[in-house]
Structure 1
Amino acid sequence: MVSTKLSLPKTRLLPTIATTLVSNGDRFFVPIMTDAVIWDCDGVLVDSEKLSCSAWLPVLRRRGIEVDLADIEVFIGRSDQAVLDHYRQAGYPLADEILLEREQEYYTTARERLTSFAGLREVLDDLCLADVPVAVASSGGMDRIRFSIELVGITRYFSVICSASEVAKGKPAPDLFLLAAARLGVAPTDCTVIEDSIPGVEAAIAAGMTAIGFTSTHPREVLESAGAEVTFDTYSELWPMLEKKN
């Protein structure tokens, strides 16, 4: 993605809508005006979707459930409870303790392999310089969210962290993003959400927020069909898309 401006200001503060036009392939659009940015965690802040899905495999297989990665990937963007409920409804008498077992599988693998995405820190730094508040709102449990962002060294950017365990309904319901907006003290319509999943994009739209899709998990067409305003492939493309609203 490129901007029609020859260069950004040295401070890289949010670009001015009157002088900037952003190109995404063969389409052009003005930057998205926002007062806050809300981030999903898995697949957006940290490159963890496959690690997270893979953690289910040994846990379920130990209980005689034949499952492969594709069977779990359909739940990307939803909570671990949704996976558990699915297999219970399929007739498997799974106890709640399986969730803790699955978490331990994830932690073991993540300690060796979890990374953040290239260019993410630069965007977070720029948002901080521009005084744009940010939050994490993830379908994962609070312990896992904190573990992930601490492991990759980005905890300091986020004063607001929200987990699906804190709301009545997870994504694609809007509850989680509405909670994040309330804690930030920003109106939902003034928030922009960065998401990689279909349920996440749908939740952002249901909350009255603008959704930007990150193609780490799904292609552009899938995310835009779900309601994403625009998509990006790398974090170097995200910065020109944003403009501070107030």
Structure 2
Amino acid sequence: MLHHFFPEHSFKALLFDFDGTVADTMPAHLAAWNKALDKYDLSLSREQHLSWAGRPTARIVEMMNELHQTRIDPEQFVKEKESHYLASLNDVTPITSVMEIIEHYHGKLPMAIVTGSRRKIVELTMNQLGIQKYFDTLVCAEDYTQGKPAPDCFLLAAAKVNAAPTDCLAFEDAVLGIEAAHTAGMNCLKVTDSYSLVHTR
């Protein structure tokens, strides 16, 4: 299945970003952001949301504070935003093109989730979609300090699945995540807005 993209390469592990890659969560996350930001008279555009995708929520709040000269408490905001997101969990669906690859390689290659979201939110979403059985490990926001575009999360995931970074294939939808995967020394497939898979350089 992956030989279509990489005819000369046999991968030993597959590493997947979660939001916008495995699960179509981005509309629900953006709506949750804007519901939580409303009381501060702020909003987040779709373009800004996508450009920051991959960073932990608390870090984005810090960046918004710098940008707007506000003093939003990151920890409190994370709780409020997550509450809004969980209320719309029924609207989240898996991304079919990626799930086909996950199902095909299940039991053949180790697979990990590598995300800037918090573990609780990822696990609840995976349970809702019934896909937790496919993944050997989760690397979430609590597991590393430097978020994407730093390579730390992908390098940690490679270590957890016992594979050299060059033997891992990453799947990403966001610019920061693709940069992180490449910096980690990994090949990467991008999930486009139309949910097709394309090579990244």
Common fold, TM-score beyond 0.5?
Answer: yes
Q: Deviations over 1:33-64 (max 9, x none)?
A: 21000000001110011211221102111112
Unaligned segments of structure 2, at least 5 residues: none
The structure-2 alpha-carbon separation of the partners of 1:180 and 1:63, relative to structure 1 and needing over 3 Å to count, comes to same
Alignment of 1:18-167 (within 5 A): 22=4, 30=7, 32-90=9-67, 91-95=69-73, 96-110=75-89, 112-129=90-107, 131-167=108-144
Contact kept in structure 2, 1:57 and 1:69, CA below 8 Å: no
In 1, Cα distance between equivalents of 2:97 and 2:58: 32
Contact kept in structure 1, 2:97 and 2:195, CA below 8 Å: no
In 2, Cα distance between equivalents of 1:200 and 1:138: 9
Question: What is the Cα deviation at residue 196 of structure 1?
Answer: 0.6
Contact kept in structure 1, 2:22 and 2:99, CA below 8 Å: no
User: What SS does the aligned partner of 1:55 have?
Assistant: helix
Contact kept in structure 1, 2:95 and 2:195, CA below 8 Å: no
Q: Please tell me the root mean square deviation across aligned C-alpha atoms, in Å.
A: 2.3
Could you say which structure has the larger radius of gyration?
1
Quote the sequence identity (%). 25
Q: Is 1:192 aligned with 2:169?
A: yes
Contact kept in structure 1, 2:50 and 2:174, CA below 8 Å: no
Q: Which residue of 2 aligns with 1:177?
A: 154
Give me the TM-score of the superposition, normalised by structure 2: 0.89
Question: What is the Cα deviation at residue 201 of structure 1?
Answer: 0.6
Q: Which residue of 2 aligns with 1:3?
A: none
Residue correspondences, number:
199
In 2, Cα distance between equivalents of 1:209 and 1:186: 11
Unaligned segments of structure 1, at least 5 residues: 1-13, 24-28, 230-246
Contact kept in structure 1, 2:149 and 2:176, CA below 8 Å: yes
Q: Deviations over 1:220-246 (max 9, x none)?
A: 8xx86xxx15xxxxxxxxxxxxxxxxx
Q: Deviations over 1:5-30 (max 9, x none)?
A: xxxxxxxxx68x6xxxx48xxxxx62
Contact kept in structure 2, 1:40 and 1:136, CA below 8 Å: yes
Question: What is the Cα deviation at residue 121 of structure 1?
Answer: 3.9
More helix by share: 2
